[in-house]
A and B are shown apart, each in its own frame.
Chain A
Amino acid sequence: NAGVMQNPRHLVRRRGQEARLRCSPMKGHSHVYWYRQLPEEGLKFMVYLQKENIIDESGMPKERFSAEFPKEGPSILRIQQVVRGDSAAYFCASSPGSASGNTIYFGEGSWLTVV
């Protein structure tokens, strides 16, 4: 499968636990974006990364959320001390170059439920 791969597809965490969501971009893509979709809302941008660099994290909550895209391996979105309001679908997308004039392609999403 040459598409954007996300795992896990579904994750259940208790309040206060940590959630780690992983994303492998499409082959040949070096730019990764994370979006979140809360219930009954649209897709909200969180963070944009290239290998070993965070380019734009203006949409990421200042506390408890972090993201990385290491030289080797998938991009990881980490949510510490989860709360019920973190329950959402988290989508990763990738593009071959910057988003400037490029289409971004999404993965299937990771659904986080906080109980």
Chain B
Amino acid sequence: DQQVKQNSPSLSVQEGRISILNCDYTNSMFDYFLWYKKYPAEGPTFLISISSIKDKNEDGRFTVFLNKSAKHLSLHIVPSQPGDSAVYFCAAGGSYIPTFGRGTSLIVHP
């Protein structure tokens, strides 16, 4: 039973436009959420996180939104760049060891 779900295996976006990656979780006890970016043959790189006491956290081109009532979070990348093409993993934790989704492969076309 997946506690963290990324329902879109892939997403294709044009350079300069917004990329929106979605993530849903089932365990209401999760209170800390993270996004990682992963290139092939490399380890996941931490991007941005958000605590459950917030509903938005921004870092440069990356913004994470958290909707606790819907148990949903999203990562917005604006503007998208070709170098953003990678697999993005959502993770949920807090008091728990981070549980990861299956990832969404983002392709940004020039």
Contact = CB atoms under 8 A, between A and B. Distances in A.
Interface in B11-56: 31-32, 34, 36, 41-46, 49, 51
Contacts of B31: 101
A43 to B, nearest CB: 4
B43 A99 contact: no
Interface in B54-110: 89, 91, 93-103
Contacts of B44: 43, 91, 106
A99 B92 CA distance: 11
A35 B95 CA distance: 18
A41 B36 CA distance: 15
- Output the residue of B31, B89, B98 with the most chain A CB within 10 A: B98
Given A106-B44, A111-B41, 12 more contacts: A4-B43, A6-B43, A42-B89, A42-B100, A45-B100, A48-B97, A99-B96, A100-B94, A100-B95, A101-B32, A106-B45, A107-B43
23 contacts: A4-B43, A6-B43, A33-B97, A42-B101, A42-B102, A43-B44, A43-B91, A45-B97, A48-B97, A91-B44, A99-B93, A99-B96, A101-B31, A101-B32, A101-B51, A103-B34, A103-B49, A106-B36, A106-B43, A106-B44, A109-B41, A109-B42, A109-B43
Given A101-B51, A103-B34, A108 B43 contact: yes
A111 B100 CA distance: 19
Nearest to A9: B41
Please classify how large the interface on chain B is, using the bins under 10, 10 to 19, 20 to 34, 35 or more. Answer: 20 to 34
Contacts of B94: 100-101
Given A42-B89, A43-B89, A99-B93, A104 B42 contact: no
A41 B98 contact: no
- Output the residue of A35, A41, A104, A107 with the most chain B CB within 10 A: A104
B98 A99 contact: yes
